[in-house]
Amino acid sequence: MRKLADRVGQITSFHVMALMEQAQQLEQQGKDIIHLEVGEPDFPTPQNVVAAGVRAMESGKTRYTTALGLPALREAIARFYQTRFGVEVPASRILITPGASGGLGLFSGLLFNAGDGVLLTDPGYPCNDNFLHLVGAQPQRIAVGEDSGYQLSASLVKKHWQPSTRAAWVASPSNPTGTLIPMTEMAAIKQEVDARDGALMVDEIYHCLSYEQAPATALALPDEQDSLFVINSFSKYFNMTGWRLGWLVAPQQHVAALEKLAQNFYLAAPTVAQHAALEAFSDESMALYEERRGIMAQRRDYLLEHLPTLGIRIPCVPQGAFYLYCDVSAITDNSFDFCQQLITGCGVAVTPGIDFGTHKAEQHIRIAYSASLDRLQEAVHRIAQFVGQ
């Protein structure tokens, strides 16, 4: 058999996929499974956004756009930053990408050579490591816990920066913990990165899904050194996961190079999805998104109240996204086995901590509150009975 590239061995699969396959087999046998493992909102794409996509197809808007994306959509995103956050972001700095993943691939390809290091949290979104492996760069995972809200801090950046380090990569709100980085801390992190002539990537994919406070964007920070990159997506807040659409905001001086990479990596983001996304910024859509954000908050609060009574500790209250990162050490020392037992024992699917890193991963699970409140209530009831046994 032909030898594969070394990077294939470095790139890991999601453990939760094995659990999802197990759940699907049980469903085929007639068992009811409550899915709290998938990082996808359960809300459908708003009907007016779907209709905009249909109109685009019917009117023949199905050809390539430029690699940078539909100019009208780049302008709409620029207006969104101005009206929602009071931040001026020129449309010329915005690249439309096929999902946020397209932007993360561009960022990795733009900045890193083989052997370059990037600071990341452990736990954290695992695909970030794999984007780096794809270009030969090295993830430098830093163990974080509840003391720092599972986030990097300026002091951690300073402590762990190595001669090979070229960037820090953070997420606010984060996956899997849902915690935010305060803007004062984000500014301090950027100062440490700038002092070392590095780059800062801020993942704001769950940006507008925040609860106690209005979201703030890292793009509000001054960036005299052109070191700041911000990624976002139409998947989570905008309920357009399957449309595969995101955006990357980059320093102006790097846009031409990113455009060249985009032309070669994927040519352009999906055209119909771009036309549909224009409608996502309408008043009608925004009112619905805010209503749904309120529903997410109610779900979160229900689980925050009831999960601890089952011996499931939530070290940090998530301020955003739709995840709870839960300490189950009082119940198990093997999160993957526990997740398997939940599926077979009571029909509840959650994600094991080992999908997000190695730091105390066997003691944690991630629960996505991307299911209706009545289903969450049923899930709590089932887990209570299972743990009680």
User: Is residue 210 one of the residues assigned to a domain?
Assistant: yes
* Full-model pTM: 0.95
**Confidence class of residue 388 from pLDDT cuts 50, 70 and 90?**
confident
- Of 237, 339, 247, the closest CA to residue 293 belongs to 237
Per-residue confidence (pLDDT) for residue 189, from 0 to 100 = 98
- Of 257, 229, 258, 242, the closest CA to residue 99 belongs to 242
| SS3 category, 102 | helix
The first and second tokens of residue 363, run together, are 């003691």
Per-residue confidence (pLDDT) for residue 1, from 0 to 100 = 65
Q: pLDDT per residue over 214-240, tens digit each? A: 889 999 999 999 999 999 999 999 999
**Within the chain, where are the H helices?**
6-10, 15-28, 47-58, 71-85, 99-111, 127-134, 154-160, 183-195, 255-265, 271-279, 283-306, 335-346, 373-388
Q: pLDDT per residue over 2-32, tens digit each? A: 889 988 888 888 888 888 888 889 999 999 9
Residue 296 C-alpha from the chain's centroid: 16
Claim to verify: residue 368 and residue 267 sit in the same structural domain: no
Claim to verify: residue 94 and residue 29 sit in the same structural domain: no
Q: pLDDT per residue over 161-211, tens digit each? A: 999 999 999 999 999 999 999 999 999 999 999 999 999 999 999 999 999
Q: What is the CATH number of the domain that holds 308?
A: 3.90.1150.10
- Of 319, 305, 280, the closest CA to residue 377 belongs to 305
Claim to verify: residue 296 and residue 354 sit in the same structural domain: yes
Cis, bond preceding 46 (omega within 30 deg of 0)? no
User: Is residue 1 one of the residues assigned to a domain?
Assistant: no
User: Is residue 150 one of the residues assigned to a domain?
Assistant: yes
| SS3 category, 247 | strand
Please identify, among 262, 280, 298, the residue that sits at the C-terminal boundary of a domain: 280
Residue 197 C-alpha from the chain's centroid: 26
Please identify, among 261, 280, 299, the residue that sits at the C-terminal boundary of a domain: 280
List the domain range (segments joined by +) for residue 30. 6-44+285-388
Claim to verify: residue 141 and residue 230 sit in the same structural domain: yes
**Confidence class of residue 334 from pLDDT cuts 50, 70 and 90?**
very high
Claim to verify: residue 185 and residue 275 sit in the same structural domain: yes
On the question of pLDDT at 259 being above 90, the answer is yes
Claim to verify: residue 176 and residue 245 sit in the same structural domain: yes
Q: What is the mean pLDDT of residues 344-358?
A: 95
Q: pLDDT per residue over 279-316, tens digit each? A: 999 999 999 999 999 999 999 999 999 999 999 999 99
| Size of the chain, expressed as the number of residues it contains | 389
Please identify, among 230, 247, 280, the residue that sits at the C-terminal boundary of a domain: 280
- What is the count of structural domains for the chain? 2
Residue 233 C-alpha from the chain's centroid: 9
Q: What is the CATH number of the domain that holds 275?
A: 3.40.640.10
Q: What is the mean pLDDT of residues 47-68?
A: 98
Cα 24 to Cα 4: distance, rounded to the nearest angstrom: 31
Q: pLDDT per residue over 100-159, tens digit each? A: 999 999 999 999 999 999 999 999 999 999 999 999 999 999 999 999 999 999 999 999
Claim to verify: residue 259 and residue 353 sit in the same structural domain: no
Claim to verify: residue 275 and residue 340 sit in the same structural domain: no
Q: pLDDT per residue over 317-333, tens digit each? A: 999 999 999 999 999 99
Per-residue confidence (pLDDT) for residue 61, from 0 to 100 = 97
Q: What is the mean pLDDT of residues 332-359?
A: 95
